[in-house]
Amino acid sequence: MAQGLSPAIDALVDDLKRLPGVGQKTAQRMAFYLLERDRQGALALSASLQQAADRVGHCQQCRTLTEEALCRICANPARRESGVVCIVETPADVLAIEQTSQFKGRYFVLMGHLSPLDGIGPADIGLDELELQLKQGPVEEIILATNPTVEGDATAHYIADIAEQLGINTTRIAHGVPVGGELGYVDQTTLGHAFSGRKQFSR
Amino acid sequence: MAQGLSPAIDALVDDLKRLPGVGQKTAQRMAFYLLERDRQGALALSASLQQAADRVGHCQQCRTLTEEALCRICANPARRESGVVCIVETPADVLAIEQTSQFKGRYFVLMGHLSPLDGIGPADIGLDELELQLKQGPVEEIILATNPTVEGDATAHYIADIAEQLGINTTRIAHGVPVGGELGYVDQTTLGHAFSGRKQFSR
Protein backbone atom coordinates (compact mmCIF):
# COMPACT_ATOMS: atom_id res chain seq x y z
CA MET A 1 0.00 0.00 0.00
CA ALA A 2 1.51 3.31 -1.08
CA GLN A 3 1.58 6.07 1.53
CA GLY A 4 0.58 8.97 -0.65
CA LEU A 5 -1.55 12.04 -0.29
CA SER A 6 -5.07 10.64 -0.19
CA PRO A 7 -6.89 7.29 -0.45
CA ALA A 8 -8.09 7.85 -4.05
CA ILE A 9 -4.57 8.70 -5.29
CA ASP A 10 -3.04 5.80 -3.35
CA ALA A 11 -5.55 3.38 -4.89
CA LEU A 12 -4.82 4.72 -8.37
CA VAL A 13 -1.05 4.38 -7.89
CA ASP A 14 -1.45 0.84 -6.55
CA ASP A 15 -3.61 -0.19 -9.52
CA LEU A 16 -1.25 1.42 -12.06
CA LYS A 17 1.51 -0.74 -10.54
CA ARG A 18 -0.36 -3.79 -11.88
CA LEU A 19 0.76 -2.79 -15.40
CA PRO A 20 3.87 -4.68 -16.55
CA GLY A 21 7.08 -2.68 -16.13
CA VAL A 22 5.46 -0.04 -13.92
CA GLY A 23 6.88 0.45 -10.41
CA GLN A 24 6.10 2.90 -7.61
CA LYS A 25 7.81 5.96 -9.11
CA THR A 26 6.43 5.45 -12.63
CA ALA A 27 2.94 4.81 -11.25
CA GLN A 28 3.12 8.05 -9.24
CA ARG A 29 4.27 9.97 -12.31
CA MET A 30 1.39 8.50 -14.37
CA ALA A 31 -1.19 9.26 -11.66
CA PHE A 32 -0.04 12.86 -11.18
CA TYR A 33 0.14 13.39 -14.93
CA LEU A 34 -3.42 12.17 -15.47
CA LEU A 35 -4.82 14.15 -12.53
CA GLU A 36 -2.98 17.40 -13.33
CA ARG A 37 -3.02 17.39 -17.11
CA ASP A 38 -5.40 14.86 -18.61
CA ARG A 39 -8.57 14.08 -16.64
CA GLN A 40 -10.40 13.34 -19.89
CA GLY A 41 -7.68 10.82 -20.70
CA ALA A 42 -8.10 9.16 -17.31
CA LEU A 43 -11.85 8.79 -17.89
CA ALA A 44 -11.32 7.52 -21.44
CA LEU A 45 -8.78 4.96 -20.23
CA SER A 46 -11.15 3.91 -17.45
CA ALA A 47 -13.95 3.32 -19.96
CA SER A 48 -11.84 1.41 -22.48
CA LEU A 49 -10.34 -0.78 -19.74
CA GLN A 50 -13.78 -1.73 -18.52
CA GLN A 51 -15.12 -2.32 -22.01
CA ALA A 52 -12.15 -4.47 -23.02
CA ALA A 53 -12.11 -6.46 -19.78
CA ASP A 54 -15.85 -7.13 -20.03
CA ARG A 55 -16.11 -7.94 -23.70
CA VAL A 56 -12.86 -9.27 -25.14
CA GLY A 57 -12.71 -13.03 -25.58
CA HIS A 58 -11.02 -15.36 -28.04
CA CYS A 59 -11.48 -15.71 -31.80
CA GLN A 60 -13.38 -18.95 -32.49
CA GLN A 61 -10.99 -19.91 -35.25
CA CYS A 62 -7.50 -18.63 -34.39
CA ARG A 63 -7.83 -18.12 -30.60
CA THR A 64 -6.44 -14.57 -30.64
CA LEU A 65 -7.97 -11.87 -28.44
CA THR A 66 -11.04 -10.15 -29.91
CA GLU A 67 -14.50 -9.11 -28.73
CA GLU A 68 -16.11 -10.53 -31.86
CA ALA A 69 -16.77 -14.15 -32.80
CA LEU A 70 -14.07 -14.01 -35.47
CA CYS A 71 -11.07 -11.65 -35.41
CA ARG A 72 -10.51 -9.19 -38.28
CA ILE A 73 -8.19 -11.58 -40.07
CA CYS A 74 -10.34 -14.72 -39.72
CA ALA A 75 -13.40 -12.67 -40.74
CA ASN A 76 -11.73 -12.00 -44.11
CA PRO A 77 -12.73 -14.92 -46.44
CA ALA A 78 -9.66 -14.51 -48.64
CA ARG A 79 -7.39 -15.03 -45.65
CA ARG A 80 -9.52 -17.59 -43.83
CA GLU A 81 -9.50 -19.89 -46.86
CA SER A 82 -5.95 -19.22 -48.00
CA GLY A 83 -4.66 -22.68 -47.03
CA VAL A 84 -1.59 -21.28 -45.25
CA VAL A 85 -1.58 -21.22 -41.44
CA CYS A 86 1.03 -19.33 -39.43
CA ILE A 87 1.43 -20.58 -35.84
CA VAL A 88 2.43 -17.91 -33.29
CA GLU A 89 2.57 -17.76 -29.51
CA THR A 90 0.80 -14.46 -28.77
CA PRO A 91 -1.55 -11.84 -30.28
CA ALA A 92 1.41 -9.42 -30.24
CA ASP A 93 3.22 -11.73 -32.67
CA VAL A 94 0.26 -11.48 -35.06
CA LEU A 95 0.52 -7.68 -35.03
CA ALA A 96 4.29 -7.83 -35.61
CA ILE A 97 3.89 -10.14 -38.60
CA GLU A 98 0.97 -8.10 -39.99
CA GLN A 99 3.24 -5.04 -40.01
CA THR A 100 5.57 -6.73 -42.49
CA SER A 101 2.61 -6.98 -44.97
CA GLN A 102 4.26 -10.14 -46.31
CA PHE A 103 1.88 -12.78 -45.03
CA LYS A 104 -1.56 -13.20 -46.57
CA GLY A 105 -2.69 -16.42 -44.88
CA ARG A 106 -4.35 -16.97 -41.52
CA TYR A 107 -2.99 -17.44 -38.04
CA PHE A 108 -3.34 -19.83 -35.17
CA VAL A 109 -2.47 -18.22 -31.85
CA LEU A 110 -1.32 -20.65 -29.14
CA MET A 111 -1.59 -18.07 -26.33
CA GLY A 112 1.56 -19.58 -24.84
CA HIS A 113 3.92 -22.49 -25.46
CA LEU A 114 4.38 -26.05 -24.24
CA SER A 115 5.88 -25.96 -20.77
CA PRO A 116 5.52 -29.31 -18.96
CA LEU A 117 7.20 -27.94 -15.80
CA ASP A 118 4.44 -25.32 -15.48
CA GLY A 119 1.79 -27.92 -16.30
CA ILE A 120 1.06 -26.44 -19.74
CA GLY A 121 0.32 -29.29 -22.12
CA PRO A 122 -0.91 -29.51 -25.75
CA ALA A 123 -4.59 -28.98 -24.85
CA ASP A 124 -3.79 -25.79 -22.90
CA ILE A 125 -2.35 -24.16 -26.01
CA GLY A 126 -5.18 -25.36 -28.24
CA LEU A 127 -3.33 -28.05 -30.16
CA ASP A 128 -6.39 -30.35 -30.08
CA GLU A 129 -8.39 -27.56 -31.76
CA LEU A 130 -5.54 -26.98 -34.25
CA GLU A 131 -5.45 -30.68 -35.18
CA LEU A 132 -9.21 -30.61 -35.73
CA GLN A 133 -8.90 -27.59 -38.04
CA LEU A 134 -6.03 -29.19 -39.97
CA LYS A 135 -8.12 -32.33 -40.52
CA GLN A 136 -11.21 -30.37 -41.61
CA GLY A 137 -9.96 -27.77 -44.07
CA PRO A 138 -7.53 -28.06 -46.93
CA VAL A 139 -4.23 -26.73 -45.54
CA GLU A 140 -1.23 -26.58 -47.86
CA GLU A 141 1.39 -25.20 -45.53
CA ILE A 142 2.01 -24.60 -41.85
CA ILE A 143 4.51 -21.84 -41.01
CA LEU A 144 5.95 -22.28 -37.53
CA ALA A 145 6.62 -18.80 -36.09
CA THR A 146 6.97 -19.69 -32.42
CA ASN A 147 9.76 -17.91 -30.58
CA PRO A 148 13.32 -19.22 -31.04
CA THR A 149 13.51 -20.29 -27.39
CA VAL A 150 13.74 -23.77 -25.88
CA GLU A 151 9.97 -23.84 -25.24
CA GLY A 152 9.13 -22.26 -28.60
CA ASP A 153 11.32 -24.79 -30.45
CA ALA A 154 9.81 -27.70 -28.51
CA THR A 155 6.33 -26.47 -29.36
CA ALA A 156 7.32 -26.13 -33.03
CA HIS A 157 8.60 -29.71 -33.07
CA TYR A 158 5.40 -30.99 -31.47
CA ILE A 159 3.24 -29.24 -34.09
CA ALA A 160 5.51 -30.41 -36.90
CA ASP A 161 4.89 -34.01 -35.75
CA ILE A 162 1.11 -33.50 -35.95
CA ALA A 163 1.43 -31.92 -39.40
CA GLU A 164 3.63 -34.74 -40.65
CA GLN A 165 1.04 -37.34 -39.66
CA LEU A 166 -1.54 -35.38 -41.66
CA GLY A 167 0.84 -35.00 -44.62
CA ILE A 168 0.95 -31.20 -44.45
CA ASN A 169 4.06 -29.32 -45.56
CA THR A 170 5.64 -27.51 -42.61
CA THR A 171 8.16 -24.65 -42.62
CA ARG A 172 9.93 -22.69 -39.86
CA ILE A 173 10.72 -18.96 -40.14
CA ALA A 174 14.42 -18.27 -40.77
CA HIS A 175 16.78 -17.55 -37.90
CA GLY A 176 19.91 -15.54 -38.56
CA VAL A 177 21.62 -12.19 -38.20
CA PRO A 178 19.05 -9.36 -37.79
CA VAL A 179 19.09 -6.80 -40.62
CA GLY A 180 21.04 -3.76 -39.45
CA GLY A 181 22.78 -5.81 -36.74
CA GLU A 182 26.53 -6.12 -36.35
CA LEU A 183 28.13 -9.57 -36.40
CA GLY A 184 30.26 -8.74 -33.34
CA TYR A 185 27.16 -8.27 -31.21
CA VAL A 186 25.24 -11.33 -32.40
CA ASP A 187 25.25 -14.35 -30.08
CA GLN A 188 26.89 -17.66 -31.06
CA THR A 189 23.69 -19.64 -31.53
CA THR A 190 22.19 -17.05 -33.88
CA LEU A 191 25.42 -16.86 -35.85
CA GLY A 192 25.45 -20.69 -36.02
CA HIS A 193 21.89 -20.60 -37.44
CA ALA A 194 22.98 -17.90 -39.92
CA PHE A 195 25.75 -20.16 -41.22
CA SER A 196 23.81 -23.42 -41.35
CA GLY A 197 20.90 -21.58 -43.03
CA ARG A 198 23.04 -19.75 -45.64
CA LYS A 199 21.62 -19.29 -49.15
CA GLN A 200 23.12 -19.06 -52.63
CA PHE A 201 24.16 -15.43 -53.25
CA SER A 202 22.14 -14.05 -56.17
CA ARG A 203 23.12 -10.91 -58.09
CA MET B 1 -5.37 4.90 -34.53
CA ALA B 2 -3.72 1.56 -33.95
CA GLN B 3 -4.57 -1.20 -36.42
CA GLY B 4 -4.93 -4.07 -34.02
CA LEU B 5 -7.16 -7.06 -33.70
CA SER B 6 -10.50 -5.56 -32.71
CA PRO B 7 -12.04 -2.15 -31.91
CA ALA B 8 -12.07 -2.69 -28.13
CA ILE B 9 -8.38 -3.66 -28.03
CA ASP B 10 -7.44 -0.81 -30.38
CA ALA B 11 -9.26 1.68 -28.13
CA LEU B 12 -7.54 0.29 -25.03
CA VAL B 13 -4.09 0.51 -26.67
CA ASP B 14 -4.78 4.08 -27.84
CA ASP B 15 -5.87 5.15 -24.35
CA LEU B 16 -2.90 3.46 -22.66
CA LYS B 17 -0.66 5.54 -24.97
CA ARG B 18 -1.93 8.65 -23.14
CA LEU B 19 0.17 7.59 -20.14
CA PRO B 20 3.54 9.38 -20.00
CA GLY B 21 6.40 7.28 -21.38
CA VAL B 22 4.10 4.71 -22.98
CA GLY B 23 4.34 4.18 -26.75
CA GLN B 24 2.66 1.77 -29.15
CA LYS B 25 4.65 -1.35 -28.23
CA THR B 26 4.45 -0.81 -24.48
CA ALA B 27 0.72 -0.05 -24.70
CA GLN B 28 0.17 -3.29 -26.66
CA ARG B 29 2.15 -5.25 -24.09
CA MET B 30 0.11 -3.70 -21.26
CA ALA B 31 -3.20 -4.36 -23.03
CA PHE B 32 -2.39 -8.00 -23.81
CA TYR B 33 -1.05 -8.54 -20.30
CA LEU B 34 -4.23 -7.22 -18.69
CA LEU B 35 -6.52 -9.15 -21.06
CA GLU B 36 -4.64 -12.45 -20.86
CA ARG B 37 -3.51 -12.47 -17.24
CA ASP B 38 -5.22 -9.86 -15.08
CA ARG B 39 -8.82 -8.98 -15.98
CA GLN B 40 -9.53 -8.23 -12.33
CA GLY B 41 -6.62 -5.78 -12.41
CA ALA B 42 -8.02 -4.09 -15.51
CA LEU B 43 -11.38 -3.61 -13.81
CA ALA B 44 -9.75 -2.38 -10.59
CA LEU B 45 -7.63 0.11 -12.54
CA SER B 46 -10.71 1.24 -14.46
CA ALA B 47 -12.59 1.91 -11.21
CA SER B 48 -9.73 3.74 -9.47
CA LEU B 49 -9.09 5.90 -12.56
CA GLN B 50 -12.73 6.96 -12.66
CA GLN B 51 -12.88 7.58 -8.93
CA ALA B 52 -9.68 9.63 -8.89
CA ALA B 53 -10.59 11.65 -11.99
CA ASP B 54 -14.05 12.43 -10.59
CA ARG B 55 -13.13 13.22 -7.03
CA VAL B 56 -9.54 14.45 -6.67
CA GLY B 57 -9.15 18.22 -6.32
CA HIS B 58 -6.72 20.46 -4.50
CA CYS B 59 -6.00 20.79 -0.78
CA GLN B 60 -7.49 24.10 0.43
CA GLN B 61 -4.34 24.98 2.31
CA CYS B 62 -1.32 23.58 0.43
CA ARG B 63 -2.81 23.10 -3.07
CA THR B 64 -1.58 19.51 -3.43
CA LEU B 65 -3.81 16.88 -5.04
CA THR B 66 -6.32 15.25 -2.70
CA GLU B 67 -10.01 14.31 -2.75
CA GLU B 68 -10.54 15.77 0.71
CA ALA B 69 -10.76 19.40 1.80
CA LEU B 70 -7.38 19.17 3.49
CA CYS B 71 -4.62 16.71 2.54
CA ARG B 72 -3.26 14.24 5.09
CA ILE B 73 -0.44 16.55 6.09
CA CYS B 74 -2.50 19.75 6.39
CA ALA B 75 -5.15 17.79 8.31
CA ASN B 76 -2.56 17.06 11.02
CA PRO B 77 -2.70 20.00 13.50
CA ALA B 78 0.90 19.52 14.66
CA ARG B 79 2.14 19.97 11.12
CA ARG B 80 -0.37 22.58 10.03
CA GLU B 81 0.67 24.87 12.89
CA SER B 82 4.37 24.09 12.87
CA GLY B 83 5.41 27.51 11.54
CA VAL B 84 7.75 26.02 8.93
CA VAL B 85 6.58 25.98 5.30
CA CYS B 86 8.38 24.01 2.59
CA ILE B 87 7.70 25.25 -0.96
CA VAL B 88 7.76 22.57 -3.67
CA GLU B 89 6.73 22.43 -7.32
CA THR B 90 4.72 19.18 -7.46
CA PRO B 91 2.88 16.62 -5.27
CA ALA B 92 5.60 14.12 -6.21
CA ASP B 93 8.15 16.38 -4.47
CA VAL B 94 6.05 16.19 -1.29
CA LEU B 95 6.18 12.39 -1.38
CA ALA B 96 9.95 12.43 -1.99
CA ILE B 97 10.56 14.74 0.98
CA GLU B 98 8.15 12.78 3.20
CA GLN B 99 10.21 9.65 2.54
CA THR B 100 13.25 11.28 4.20
CA SER B 101 11.19 11.61 7.45
CA GLN B 102 13.30 14.71 8.22
CA PHE B 103 10.71 17.43 7.70
CA LYS B 104 7.92 17.94 10.23
CA GLY B 105 6.42 21.20 8.96
CA ARG B 106 3.83 21.81 6.27
CA TYR B 107 4.06 22.24 2.51
CA PHE B 108 2.90 24.66 -0.12
CA VAL B 109 2.67 23.04 -3.55
CA LEU B 110 3.02 25.43 -6.48
CA MET B 111 1.80 22.86 -9.06
CA GLY B 112 4.39 24.30 -11.46
CA HIS B 113 6.92 27.12 -11.58
CA LEU B 114 7.08 30.68 -12.91
CA SER B 115 7.42 30.56 -16.69
CA PRO B 116 6.63 33.92 -18.33
CA LEU B 117 7.20 32.51 -21.83
CA ASP B 118 4.39 29.98 -21.25
CA GLY B 119 2.20 32.65 -19.68
CA ILE B 120 2.52 31.17 -16.18
CA GLY B 121 2.67 34.05 -13.69
CA PRO B 122 2.62 34.29 -9.87
CA ALA B 123 -1.16 33.88 -9.59
CA ASP B 124 -1.10 30.68 -11.67
CA ILE B 125 1.17 28.98 -9.14
CA GLY B 126 -0.80 30.27 -6.16
CA LEU B 127 1.64 32.90 -4.93
CA ASP B 128 -1.24 35.28 -4.06
CA GLU B 129 -2.69 32.55 -1.84
CA LEU B 130 0.77 31.87 -0.35
CA GLU B 131 1.25 35.57 0.48
CA LEU B 132 -2.16 35.61 2.18
CA GLN B 133 -1.24 32.57 4.28
CA LEU B 134 2.12 34.06 5.24
CA LYS B 135 0.41 37.28 6.38
CA GLN B 136 -2.25 35.42 8.39
CA GLY B 137 -0.42 32.76 10.36
CA PRO B 138 2.81 32.99 12.30
CA VAL B 139 5.47 31.53 9.97
CA GLU B 140 9.03 31.31 11.26
CA GLU B 141 10.78 29.85 8.25
CA ILE B 142 10.22 29.23 4.57
CA ILE B 143 12.25 26.40 3.02
CA LEU B 144 12.55 26.80 -0.75
CA ALA B 145 12.66 23.32 -2.29
CA THR B 146 11.87 24.21 -5.91
CA ASN B 147 13.91 22.35 -8.51
CA PRO B 148 17.49 23.56 -9.17
CA THR B 149 16.56 24.63 -12.71
CA VAL B 150 16.43 28.10 -14.24
CA GLU B 151 12.65 28.29 -13.69
CA GLY B 152 12.83 26.75 -10.23
CA ASP B 153 15.56 29.18 -9.16
CA ALA B 154 13.62 32.16 -10.55
CA THR B 155 10.53 31.02 -8.66
CA ALA B 156 12.60 30.64 -5.47
CA HIS B 157 13.93 34.18 -5.85
CA TYR B 158 10.44 35.55 -6.39
CA ILE B 159 9.14 33.87 -3.23
CA ALA B 160 12.20 34.97 -1.25
CA ASP B 161 11.36 38.58 -2.18
CA ILE B 162 7.80 38.19 -0.82
CA ALA B 163 9.14 36.58 2.37
CA GLU B 164 11.70 39.35 2.87
CA GLN B 165 9.00 42.03 2.71
CA LEU B 166 7.10 40.12 5.41
CA GLY B 167 10.27 39.68 7.49
CA ILE B 168 10.20 35.87 7.33
CA ASN B 169 13.44 33.89 7.46
CA THR B 170 13.97 32.03 4.15
CA THR B 171 16.29 29.09 3.41
CA ARG B 172 17.08 27.10 0.26
CA ILE B 173 17.78 23.34 0.29
CA ALA B 174 21.48 22.54 -0.23
CA HIS B 175 22.83 21.78 -3.68
CA GLY B 176 25.97 19.69 -3.98
CA VAL B 177 27.40 16.30 -4.83
CA PRO B 178 24.73 13.56 -4.42
CA VAL B 179 25.55 10.98 -1.74
CA GLY B 180 26.98 7.90 -3.43
CA GLY B 181 27.87 9.92 -6.53
CA GLU B 182 31.35 10.13 -8.04
CA LEU B 183 33.01 13.52 -8.49
CA GLY B 184 34.08 12.65 -12.04
CA TYR B 185 30.48 12.29 -13.14
CA VAL B 186 29.09 15.41 -11.45
CA ASP B 187 28.50 18.44 -13.69
CA GLN B 188 30.46 21.69 -13.23
CA THR B 189 27.59 23.76 -11.82
CA THR B 190 26.79 21.20 -9.15
CA LEU B 191 30.48 20.91 -8.23
CA GLY B 192 30.66 24.71 -8.08
CA HIS B 193 27.70 24.70 -5.66
CA ALA B 194 29.39 21.98 -3.63
CA PHE B 195 32.52 24.14 -3.22
CA SER B 196 30.79 27.45 -2.52
CA GLY B 197 28.49 25.69 -0.03
CA ARG B 198 31.26 23.80 1.81
CA LYS B 199 30.95 23.33 5.57
CA GLN B 200 33.44 23.03 8.45
CA PHE B 201 34.48 19.38 8.77
CA SER B 202 33.44 18.05 12.16
CA ARG B 203 34.88 14.91 13.68
Q: What is the pLDDT of residues B6-20, one digit of tens each?
A: 899 999 999 999 999
Contact A56 B26 (CB under 8 A): no
Rg (CA), chain B: 22
Minimal-distance CA residue of chain B relative to A69: B6
Interface contact flag, A5 B48, Cβ < 8 Å = no
Residue B114: the pLDDT is 94
What does the pLDDT profile of chain A (203 residues) look like in tens digits?
Answer: 446 678 999 999 999 999 999 999 999 999 999 999 999 999 999 999 999 999 999 999 999 999 999 999 999 999 988 899 999 999 999 999 998 888 999 999 999 999 999 999 999 999 999 999 999 888 999 999 999 899 999 999 999 999 999 999 999 998 888 888 788 888 888 888 888 888 888 77
Examine the pLDDT at B143 and tell me if it is beyond 60: yes
Picking from A1, A12, A13, A19 by the largest number of B CB atoms within 10 A of its own CB, the best residue to mutate is A19
* Interface contact flag, A50 B42, Cβ < 8 Å: yes
Eight-state DSSP code of residue B125: G
Q: Would you say the C-alpha torsion A93, A94, A95, A100 has a positive or negative sign?
A: positive
* Residue A168 region by backbone torsions, left for phi larger than 0, else alpha for psi between -120 and 50, else beta: beta
pLDDT at residue B59 is higher than 60: yes
Q: Closest Cα of chain A to B137: distance in Å?
A: 23
Domains and CATH numbers, chain B: 7-55 (1.10.8.420), 79-172 (3.40.1360.10), 176-203 (no CATH)
Helices vs strands, H then E, count in chain B: 8, 6
pLDDT value at residue A3: 61
The ipTM of this complex is 0.85
- Contact in structure between A142 and A171 (CB atoms under 8 Å): yes
Q: How many CB atoms sit inside 10 A of residue A59's CB?
A: 24
A43 contacts B49? CB cut-off 8 A: yes
